[in-house]
Structure 1
Amino acid sequence: MNLKVFILALSTVAVGLVELIIGGILPTVANDLNITLSSAGQLITVFALVYAITGPVLLVLTSKIERKKLYLIALLIFFIGNIMTYFSPNFTFMMIARILTAMSTALIVVLSLTIAAKIVAPPAHRAKALGLIYMGISSSLVMGVPLGIVISDIFGWRVIFLGIAILSIGSFILISIFLERVPGGNAIPLSQQIKAVASLKIGSAHLATMFLLAGHYTLYAYFTPFLETELQLNANWISICYLLFGIAAVSGGAFGGVLSDSIGTHKSILTVIILFVVVLFALPFTTFSMIVFIPIMMVWAALSWSLAPPPQQSYLIETDPATSDIQQSFNNSAIQIGISVGSGFGGIVLSQTGTVSHMAWFGGILVIISLLCAIFSLTRRTKGKRKAILKTAAQN
């Protein structure tokens, strides 16, 4: 594999840490900034929302800028955002820092994907290159949260973001040395991108992704307090749970791909969502024993990554091959909006109920909405099929 692709993947590991690592240290951050747990959760909500919205917008606005130069600028802003986070004196200052890092992260990830596709010479190797970039992102999930909990417990939570800033310097140096100049181009206008997802069939498919992730993050964004209150776990055990969760989540992507190949995209989408509902509603009943809880937790983790990457992407490509690139971009935005909606909804539930014990059930309700959206999408005919039916009817 191209060395440059490995460097890009390493960069995505560094930037990918920022979004989710805060979930594991949420109570510590809340205590230090003297805010409520639900308010601290908005640091995840706003990050995901800014990420989702600014990704496509920034890509259009910067389309003519040389890619390597733009990548280095984004890394510099990312570095500044993490230094600001390290020195944050209050919640407002930290929120501004999170917005900066969210915008730069969105641009760095999409640039990593587009540059990787361009610098790999044989087209047959492009899928592997993109897979490596996605692996970098997923690796940050596996390593980030448990590592963050351990570091926070020993050195304090702020050191984590200082470390991420240092990692970004390493990425900056490697990109500067090894990546060649990549010319900009003409990006697809936002109006055309929005038009591509305007159909009921495709739009409802993206809503299915969004509501599933929203249901997931209603609980996952507050997973640390859930583990503390429901299972009375200390920092070491919480770190182990996050590590197991991350490993299962990454393996869930492979499971979704195998399931999609075995029974088809339609059946696999419905199967994953239905199982997700069952697991979320069952999860609170398993907290009486770690032996029972951990296997169910790992199933939940695997299912959380079993829909959006493999079967849903395949379904979008099958539905409208001409706009498949745009659909992948919006599918990624749907994931981020789902994270934002879920963590925000979870914060509301927590502030209203004052307990995390039933948050899984509230998340399950959102996943039921995801199921309804998926059923609606799957039962709509594609434009091509509809035209073919009308043409046949006219001929007869």
Structure 2
Amino acid sequence: MHASPAPSSAAPAAAGGRLPLALYALTVGAFGIGTTEFVIMGLLLQVAADLQVGLAAAGLLISGYALGVFVGAPVLTVATGRMPRKAVLVALMLIFTLGNIVCAIAPNYTVLMIARVITSLAHGTFFGVGAVVATGLVPADKKASAISIMFTGLTVATLLGVPAGAWLGLQFGWRSTFWAVAAIGVIATVVIATLVPKDRSKPEPVALRREVKAVLHPQVLLGLLMTVLGFAGVFTVYTFIQPILTRISGFGEAAVSPILLVFGGGMILGNLIGGRFADKRLAPALIGTLLALAAVLGVMTFALHHAVAAVAFVGLLGVAAFATVPPLQLWVLQKTDPAGQNLASSLNIGAFNLGNALGAWLGGAVIEHGPGLGAVTWVAALVTLSGLALAVWAARLDARPRERGIPAPQAAVADCAA
């Protein structure tokens, strides 16, 4: 059993032109989770050296986290279906905080991996439930923008949290970074508990079979697969951004943190652009952002050999990568029956992280067994192009009912019958 989406009590505030503070409380939580997810990229060499593991094994700490999100998102979403959404969000932030404390005191690689997985359990359900809450806080024409504002927490985490964490790890050891992230978790828990309004009504139980049926709609499944492939391309490169910058572009380790600031700035810009475009025309935004991402990854292969161009393309990668997030998330939400939106939203967050895991694994395989570190960018571009092909196919399927004169609300049903 699970709960169907209910309107938030804060929705009228958005109607007056001002976005509710609750939306920014979700952004704070997203900042904390985004920091712990991405900060390991800036610590990869230090963690590998301290725990005496290879670079590919250190990269699996990212895969382990991502797989934990992929598995934990639907399980926790279903398990917490009868709970008020605010209580779910607070509980998830407590899990997040505990997981980071264990990361900070982990005595070996195995414990660190387990701690990363514990932390990851909060991730998918937080963003899945949070995205549904965010879209319920605003009018219909602002839903993608609401998602982008919440996901701005991820982009700010990359802009500020990840470089700061990388610097902190370089100066005081990588464990100090996880202590700092645990402190962010405490702050985020308090902010969410204070600002997110209580559910206006008690969640109405919905049969799990109905939720699963909604998620199994072909357009929803295509959306989930697009997300996996799009972000697998991103993380094939981003997982190994520290060794790429130091070993190919020739930067010193101290330069990595400032360059990650450029990536984070690009993410913020891309996230806002993607939200604006998706609110206007969803399918073209989806196709356009994936095309831009594949192009950036492909050209990056050549840019990395020139210092200035490398920094510029790190920023462009941030723009292109996070411009895809609002259209990918909104596509899944719009193509899902309302009864299954919580589950579908959480599954799509899991899909982002399955892509992260596949990308980290693929990048490691290319480095260890394939053509090497310099090839990860063009391999990543090929992966993203496959996601683009699916987006074009999904858009064509979506257009068929309208071509036959079927009203938009019936389009999803028509696609199932086609």
What TM-score do you get using the length of structure 1 for normalisation? 0.85
Summarize the Cα distance change of 1:186–1:28 in structure 2 as closer, same or farther, 3 Å threshold: farther
Measure the CA separation in 2 of the matches of 1:333 and 1:156.
Answer: 30
Q: Report how many residues are paired.
A: 385
Summarize the Cα distance change of 1:76–1:294 in structure 2 as closer, same or farther, 3 Å threshold: closer
1:63 alignment partner, one of 81, 96, 103: 81
Deviations 1:114-133 (A, max 9, x none): 55567x5x867984765543
1:90 alignment partner, one of 101, 108, 114: 108
Say if 1:252 and 1:304, in contact at 8 Å, map to a contact too: yes
Residue 244 of structure 1 deviates from its aligned partner by 0.4
Say if 1:82 and 1:97, in contact at 8 Å, map to a contact too: yes
Summarize the Cα distance change of 1:323–1:383 in structure 2 as closer, same or farther, 3 Å threshold: farther
Partner of 1:245: 263
Residue 365 of structure 1 deviates from its aligned partner by 1.9
Partner of 1:352: 369
Amino acid across the alignment from 1:24: G
Partner of 1:394: none
> SS in structure 1 opposite 2:323?
coil
Residue 63 of structure 1 deviates from its aligned partner by 1.9
Residue 344 of structure 1 deviates from its aligned partner by 1.6
> SS in structure 2 opposite 1:25?
helix
Measure the CA separation in 2 of the matches of 1:109 and 1:292.
Answer: 34
Measure the CA separation in 1 of the matches of 2:206 and 2:115.
Answer: 29
Measure the CA separation in 2 of the matches of 1:54 and 1:271.
Answer: 31
Return 5+ residue gaps in structure 2 as ranges: 1-18, 407-418
1:198 alignment partner, one of 200, 211, 216: 216
Residue 79 of structure 1 deviates from its aligned partner by 2.1
Deviations 1:13-43 (A, max 9, x none): 2222111111111111111111111111111
Partner of 1:146: 163
Summarize the Cα distance change of 1:225–1:176 in structure 2 as closer, same or farther, 3 Å threshold: same
What TM-score do you get using the length of structure 2 for normalisation? 0.81
Q: Does 1:14 align with 2:14?
A: no
Measure the CA separation in 1 of the matches of 2:141 and 2:285.
Answer: 27
Q: Which moved more, 1:36-45 or 1:164-173?
A: 164-173
Summarize the Cα distance change of 1:382–1:271 in structure 2 as closer, same or farther, 3 Å threshold: closer
Q: Does 1:45 align with 2:67?
A: no
Partner of 1:211: 229
> SS in structure 2 opposite 1:233?
coil
Measure the CA separation in 1 of the matches of 2:79 and 2:179.
Answer: 30
Identity across the alignment (%): 24
Q: Which moved more, 1:55-64 or 1:349-358?
A: 349-358
> Matches of residues 238-387 of structure 1 in structure 2 within 5 Å?
238-259=256-277, 264-310=281-327, 312-313=328-329, 315-316=331-332, 325=341, 327-353=344-370, 355-381=372-398, 384=401
Residue 191 of structure 1 deviates from its aligned partner by 3.8
Q: CA RMSD in A?
A: 3.1
Residue 200 of structure 1 deviates from its aligned partner by 3.7
Measure the CA separation in 1 of the matches of 2:43 and 2:207.
Answer: 39
Partner of 1:158: 175
Measure the CA separation in 1 of the matches of 2:296 and 2:195.
Answer: 46
Deviations 1:303-361 (A, max 9, x none): 11122313x45555665675783554443332121111111211222221383111112
